[in-house]
Structure 1
């Protein structure tokens, strides 16, 4: 039987580690995650840990250790203009996740690296219809439909969080695509091996490789199958 103090400690431990676990799930995700998720996730984690520390009795030292570890590992990244710009150009976050001083670094980076003109859409490569005259006047097609700084203001003022927010802001869209690369992670591969380990038990030591592969595919894709309907048809 646990004592009352031990129960309180376990409750505080779970409360402290909950935001850490959620932050790890975000950063190790393989769907809808990009470089722009990095700094906002760390910033929210720090804020949650600082808020939860005020109500703790037993796990304050644990929070201090976690905050110290986050600062040691990610402190320099939190002031990186390129990473800040990537977060700003993520429609989900924009300028709501940090302080004005940090945002100014990212906005300065964005204004410095925005394309100076709007590139025309790609056209099919048809050399037969191209003439020297068309090539000579092709530069006129790079029209300044909207100043890039105004495009940035339009993007920041929009309340939408979908990718359609970039439609009136092609220059901002191109820079966002350049900065918001996918985060490299081995989480999907680790889940695959973990599931395979659950299937390949000592009692199944002589299972055929093809049978193991079929069971693994069924296990990982069970959300796409309706086994009850299959059993009914049989």
Structure 2
């Protein structure tokens, strides 16, 4: 995702290029905020120096690979999660190769070594941002694009941040800032009956994604209304039957539809989306509320990768060569 060590020219500025770190730091007051701000500035300044050195110098690049057996990932301006991935790589190197390997690199590159408090801060930062990164990767995915993914993802993210709140020592202001951001941006959406119903109508989640009864009841009420409407439609379409058959037709159809929701919720099958084939009315409603709007994100991602590959120095290549390179780049996750 961010495997290259080559950065943009803007990233090579000595000025801190990620102002959102400071925004997070000032989101909460008191001594905890001051501690976060101090550690954030010092830790990210050393990270920034390390990223610059290894990106500009071939010798520094080789020193890093020799001492740490891994290369650093560098943040860029086009992928929001690149900062998290870069910090996570530093934490991984420190954990797997030990403090001495990191110290050797810092000494060779003439960079100040991370002190224990700064490294502890980076560990906590990576731990706090990991569920955020995972949640956004789910929501921007291309294979599973159901609307019903939104609320379970947000509720699980909120719960994970709440658990982290009690275990964090230095990144508590960051956790609070993320919690406030989620509430400000998605507070009203998280109570939308249609979105709640969309989550319930995904067999993977049903009613297991939250323990808040009033939330689930709002979604279940939203689901029952279309089922009642379908019942009326079925009755009206049977007008060509005899009076006796037409008069009593709603008994069986109504019974089957009312029980269909309960049977769907209580079903123990793990067939995934195939489970919906067993419940035709539930399936119809699930398709209605879970069909997402088309987006151009996949096309824009393709154009972005193509722009990085089709440079001036490659203008004389045959068209098949850049096309093959683009194909390999976009499918690199298969070979990793």
Match of 2:57 in 1: none
Distance 1:197 1:22, change over 3 A: same
CA RMSD of aligned residues (A): 3.1
1:213 aligns with 2:327: no
1:111 to 224, 232, 245: 224
Distance 1:183 1:19, change over 3 A: farther
When structure 1 is superposed on structure 2, of 92-101 and 166-175 the one drifting more is: 166-175
More helix by share: 2
What CA distance in whole angstroms lies between the structure 1 residues aligned with 2:331 and 2:126? 31
Q: How far did residue 188 of structure 1 move?
A: 1.9
Distance 1:5 1:224, change over 3 A: closer
1:40 aligns with 2:152: yes
1:64-143 to structure 2, matched below 5 A, reads: 64-98=176-210, 99-114=212-227, 115-117=229-231, 136-137=240-241
Distance 1:7 1:223, change over 3 A: closer
Q: How many residues get paired?
A: 212
Unaligned runs of 5+ in 2: 1-112
1:164 to 274, 280, 288: 274
1:149 aligns with 2:258: yes
Q: How far did residue 164 of structure 1 move?
A: 3.0
Unaligned runs of 5+ in 1: 121-134, 226-234
SS in 2 for 1:93: coil
Distance 1:183 1:93, change over 3 A: farther
CA contact (8 A) 1:86 1:176 kept: yes
2:143 to 27, 31, 37: 31
Distance 1:6 1:218, change over 3 A: closer
Greater relative contact order (Cα 8 A, min sep 6): structure 1 or 2? Answer: 1
Deviations 1:158-182 (A, max 9, x none): 1224223223321111111100112
CA contact (8 A) 1:88 1:95 kept: yes
> Where in structure 1 do 4 or more consecutive aligned residues deviate above 3 Å?
117-120, 135-143, 183-187, 205-211, 217-225
Q: How far did residue 51 of structure 1 move?
A: 0.5
The TM-score, its normalising length taken from structure 1, stands at: 0.79
